[in-house]
Amino acid sequence: MKVTTFDQIRTMASDLFGVPAESISAASSPETIETWDSIQHLNLVLALEERLNVQLSPEEIEQMKSVGDVVKLVEGKLQAVPK
Amino acid sequence: MAGDGSISNLRSDVDGLLAQGRWNAAGLRIRDLWRKESTPATAAFVVSRYEKLREKVPLLPFRVAVLRSFTVEPIVPLLRASAFCAGIDLSVQVGDFNAYAQEILDPQSALYQFAPNFVILAVQSADIAPDLWQDYAQLSEETANQAVQRVSSSLQQWMREFRARSQASLIVHNLEVPARPALGVLDSQQGMSQSELIRQINQDIRRVASELRGIYLLDYDALVARHGRLRWRDERKWLTARLPIAAEHLIHLAREWMRFMVPFSGKAAKALVVDLDNTLWGGIIGEDGLTGIKLGSEYPGAAYQALQRTMLDLSRKGILLATCSKNNPDDAMEVLEKHPGMLLRPKHFAAMRISWNDKVQGLREIASELNIGVDSLAFLDDNPFECEQVRTALPEVTVIDLPEDPLQYAATVRDHPAFERLSLSEEDQKRTMLYAEQRQRIQAEQTFQSKEDFYRFLEQEAEIALVTPATLARIAQLTQKTNQFNVTTRRYPEQQVAEMAARPDWQVLSISVRDRFGDHGLVGVAITRDNGDACEIDSFLLSCRVIGRTLETALLSHLAENAAARGCRQLVGWFLPTRKNAPARELYRQHGFEPAKQSGDGTLWSLDLTQHRIAVPEWVKVNTVHGGKD
């Protein structure tokens, strides 16, 4: 079974925000996850950059308003730079 | 990089073991995971799973406050995960941005209310010396010097004020020099260049730190340089999130902090036990022979010499060396004694187990021979199978993972926090010799029919003295390290010992011992406090190498006589049991104390000084050094 980008990001979010992975969907956002504050947002960026080897610009970080946004952004980057 | 598959397998293993209530096994798997992947994402997982283990496995609680001028929050989970895996349950408080001066100067501040064991002052050049950092080219020589003065004297003031207000240890970051000096190559041509001015501040910080007890310098500039100045800094995160350190280097700062914390936590290794074949030399002596093994000053043997040199450096810090190897003893001894490439010789090893026996058993025997706990051992072996066996059977041993490449062996050992020390006592520097004397004592003991005859033969002389500036560091170190013969296991930093000693109702005493085989040095501590007509023993401990020599009787006798002379009617003391202090359990009963009170933590013992005294054993000659305290 292939691990999708969504799965990977969901696991990271689950670890960082301390909520079960099953409860996280593409629509999950700082509004629906109480522990998703600015520090955890920064931690999420660091985890993405390190785990998925992507670089995120301040503008992109600003636009990550839900898990779905994050997945779309990261998938776009991973496709742009084929390994 | 480890494959994601094995990482996610480890994660589900951890959760499976936790669900089954297999706490120790879960703890081991979490450590595996953290070793394989020390990243921000894994840190959150490790911390959340350890939260479930908190009550189930032994962890040492420890409190750290970070005073800072930049974002450190993402380092906190990395630090807590590293600490958990080292057996430390860390509570971390982070101060407000650039509020460190107020926090230090205000005795009511959140910093002091948090009552940390340990405080980190992490201030960076760009924040505390912005003029030197970014406007240097515009400064006149005079204003540049004033900037140095301003920064040095502020830091000095904060260090002194902190010392006056708290007993916690303080770690002070020094300042990094810029990766690209304002004047380019011209910077190195000038006397008071931009880099040189910042280095001058660093010298000032170091001087002040060395004058103050319990204040230690973290060479942040060297840390940044070690990892590469240009790669260390992340300008974008600095400008957007006040986080100046690149994501991949956050773990390196967390590890540097750990190197300062481990020596305080009682988790430092006292002995390093090494394998021989493919660890101390390349190849297998039983197969390759004396001329076939790789060991010397050229590649590839140089890698093994580098490891041996590292071990010699450790032994100069007081860390004992021992070997545990599956080999024919004659083959292995021939290398140790005769191979021209060996830097380590038999005299450098405090204990040796060279046989075909199981290594777990070997480690147990080495710990017992050296009279230290198994948890004070670090184990180094190239064979992952042996490492795994030791980890499973003796989870308290610090097992060091060797990388594939022997050229990395020495660095792996040098980087390990278990070998860090923040101060060195005379005892540390001559420990290997002390152990050689100890071997002679043990041999002598076996030739006597009775213990008493042996004690008489030893001709022990003890000196009991009030703490002095010269003995303070060693006394604090013993409170931090002694686990076995220790009635209360209270750990004190130097400055707290100094403060106790300065109070009129407290006494801080040390006992130093010599016998016919040599000088043990300072090996015991007693701390007492007068409380009405009772003298309470706050701490009473003896180094493991003098357990069973009746010196505790001599020291207790002294406490009783002194307390009575000060008008005390009772000598009382708690015994607080731990997993390791069984050797001291019967101390009070054996000396005529009676149980007076029982609590959840332990038993309070009491000796009625109007009825009883404790006699000094006839075979110990005691000299008392009276201090000038009144």
Q: Could you say which DSSP state residue B545 is in?
A: G
Last residue of a domain, one of B389, B419, B449: B419
Give the minimum alpha-carbon distance from B228 to chain A in angstroms, rounded to a whole number: 18
Question: B247, A49: Cβ pair inside 8 Å?
Answer: yes
Residue of B nearest to A17 (CA): B44
B196/A31 Cα distance (integer angstroms): 50
Co-location of B290 and B211 in the same domain: no
How many Å lie between the alpha carbon of A12 and the closest alpha carbon of chain B? Answer: 6
Q: Is residue B630 part of a domain?
A: no
* DSSP at B511: E
CB pairs under 8 A between A and B: 48
Average model confidence (pLDDT) across chain B? 93
Average pLDDT estimate for B99-126: 95
Three-state DSSP state, B91: strand
B162 lies in the same domain as B126:
yes
Taking an 8 Å cut-off on Cβ atoms, the answer to whether B48 and A15 are in contact is yes
Cα separation of B484 and B318, whole Å?
19
Closest to B546 (Cα-Cα) out of B594, B597, B503, B512: B512
Which residues in chain B have their CB less than 8 angstroms from residue A12's CB? 41
User: Do A15 and B42 count as a contact with CB atoms less than 8 A apart?
Assistant: yes
Assigned domain for B172 exists? yes
Model confidence pLDDT, tens digit, residues B386-436: 999 999 999 889 999 999 999 999 999 999 999 999 887 777 777 777 777
Whether B229 and B176 have beta carbons less than 8 Å apart is answered as yes
Give me the helix-helix angle, B451-458 and B431-445, nearest 10°: 140
Do residue B490 and residue B606 come from a single domain?
yes
Contact B139, B147 (CB under 8 A): yes
pLDDT number for residue B428: 78
User: Which residues are CB-contacts of B349 (< 8 A; sequence separation ≥ 6)?
Assistant: B321, B322, B323, B336
Residue B190 contacts A, CB cutoff 8 Å: no
Greatest alpha-carbon pair distance for chain A in Å reads: 36
CATH number of the domain within which B588 lies? 3.40.630.30
A24 three-class SS = coil
Residues B69 and B100: beta-carbon distance below 8 Å: yes
Q: Do B247 and A50 touch (CB under 8 A)?
A: yes
The Cα of B295 is separated from the nearest Cα of chain A by a number of Å equal to 39
CB distance A50–B41 less than 8 Å?
A: yes
User: Whole-angstrom Cα distance, residue B572 to residue B604?
Assistant: 7
Q: What is the mean pLDDT of residues B528-546?
A: 94
The pLDDT, as a whole number, for residue A83 is: 47
User: What are B524's two structure tokens?
Assistant: 């015991």
pLDDT of residue B264: 80
Distances (CA, A) of B380 to B252, B332, B395: 22, 17, 14
Quote the minimal CA–CA distance from A37 to chain B in Å: 12
Q: Classify residue B457: in a domain, yes or no.
A: yes
Q: Which residues form the domain of B331?
A: 271-419
Q: Indicate the burial class of B461 (C-beta count within 10 angstroms; 0-12, 13-18, 19 or more).
A: middle
Determine the average pLDDT of the residues in B558-587: 95
Confidence of residue B206 (pLDDT cuts 50, 70, 90): very high
Residue B329: CATH number of its domain: 3.40.50.1000
Rg (CA), chain A: 12
Q: B41 CA to chain A: closest CA distance, Å?
A: 5
The angle subtended at Cα B440 by Cα B437 and Cα B444, nearest 5°, is 140
CB B194 within 8 A of CB B183: yes
Give the gap in angstroms from C-alpha B109 to the nearest C-alpha of chain A.
23
pLDDT at B628 over 50: no
Q: Are B130 and B124 in contact (CB under 8 A)?
A: no
Domain membership of residue B112 (yes or no) is yes
Residue of B nearest to A45 (CA): B247
- ipTM score: 0.88
Tell me which chain B residues have a C-beta less than 8 angstroms from the C-beta of A18: 44, 48
By Cβ distance, the residue of A3, A12, A50 closest to B248 is A50
Interface test with B, best of A7, A42, A59 (most B CBs within 10 A): A42
Residues of chain A with C-beta less than 8 angstroms from the C-beta of B80: none
pLDDT range class, residue A52, cuts 50, 70, 90:
confident
Q: How far apart are CA B390 and CA B398, in angstroms?
A: 9
Instruction: Answer whether residue B603 is part of any domain.
Output: yes
With contact defined as beta carbons under 8 Å apart, do B168 and B119 qualify? yes
- Helix/strand/coil (H, E, C) string of B395-428? CCCEEECCCCCHHHHHHHHHHCHHHCCCCCCHHH
Asked if B32 and B148 sit in the same domain, the reply is no
Write out the residues of chain A at the interface with chain B, using a CB-CB cutoff of 8 A.
3, 11-12, 15-16, 18, 39, 42-43, 46-47, 49-51, 57-58, 61
The tokens describing B87, both together, are: 């057996």
Partners of A58 on chain B (C-beta within 8 Å) are 236, 239-240
Answer yes or no: is B391 within a domain: yes
Residues 6 or more apart from B60 whose CB is under 8 A from it? B87, B88, B89, B265, B266, B267
Residues B335 and B451 grouped into a single domain: no
B237: closest chain A residue by CA = A58
List all residues 6 or more positions away from A72 whose beta carbon is below 8 Å from its beta carbon. none
Please give the DSSP secondary-structure letter assigned to residue B294.
B
Residue B210 backbone phi and psi in degrees, to 5: -75, -20
Do B102 and B42 have their domain in common?
no
Specify the range with the lowest mean pLDDT, choosing from B101-110, B150-159, B374-383, B446-455: B446-455
> Cβ of B77 under 8 Å from any chain A Cβ?
yes
- What pTM was computed for the model? 0.80
Task: Show the tokens assigned to B612.
Answer: 């009883």
pLDDT value, residue B629: 45
Which of 29-48 (B) contact A at CB < 8 A? 39-42, 44-45, 48
| Residue B597, pLDDT score | 94
Q: How confident is the model at residue B2 (pLDDT cuts 50, 70, 90)?
A: very low
CB contact under 8 A, A42 and B71: yes
Q: In sequence order, what are the beta bridge partners of B625?
A: B465
Residue whose C-alpha is closest to residue B588's, from B624, B568, B563, B559: B559
Q: Do B236 and A39 lie within an 8 Å CB cutoff?
A: no
Is the distance from CB of B97 to CB of B44 less than 8 angstroms? no
CATH at B212: 3.40.50.1110
Nearest to B48 among A11, A18, A42 (CB): A18
| Nearest-Cα residue of chain A relative to residue B250 | A46
User: In angstroms, what CA-CA distances link B235 with B126, B198, B256?
Assistant: 12, 20, 22
Closest CA to B415 of B174, B226, B224, B175: B226
Question: Which residues are CB-neighbours of B229 under 8 A, at least 6 positions away?
Answer: B176, B179
* Min Cα separation B218/chain A (Å): 25
Regarding whether B295 and B410 lie in a shared domain, the answer is yes
Which of B201, B227, B260 terminates a domain? The answer is B260
Do B161 and B237 share a domain, yes or no? yes
Distance from CA of A50 to the nearest CA of B (A): 7
Domain boundary among B260, B280, B298: B260
Cβ distance B406 to B200 under 8 Å?
no
Same domain membership, residue B100 and residue B175: yes
B626 — pLDDT class (breaks 50, 70, 90): low
Does residue A39 contact residue A18 with C-beta atoms inside 8 Å?
no
Type of residue at B409: Y
Q: pLDDT by residue (tens digit) across B499-514?
A: 999 999 999 999 999 9
Tokens describing residue B129:
């010396």
Q: Show the domains of chain A with their CATH numbers.
A: 26-83 (1.10.1200.10)
Q: The tokens of B469 are what?
A: 């500036």
Total domains in the fold of chain B? 4
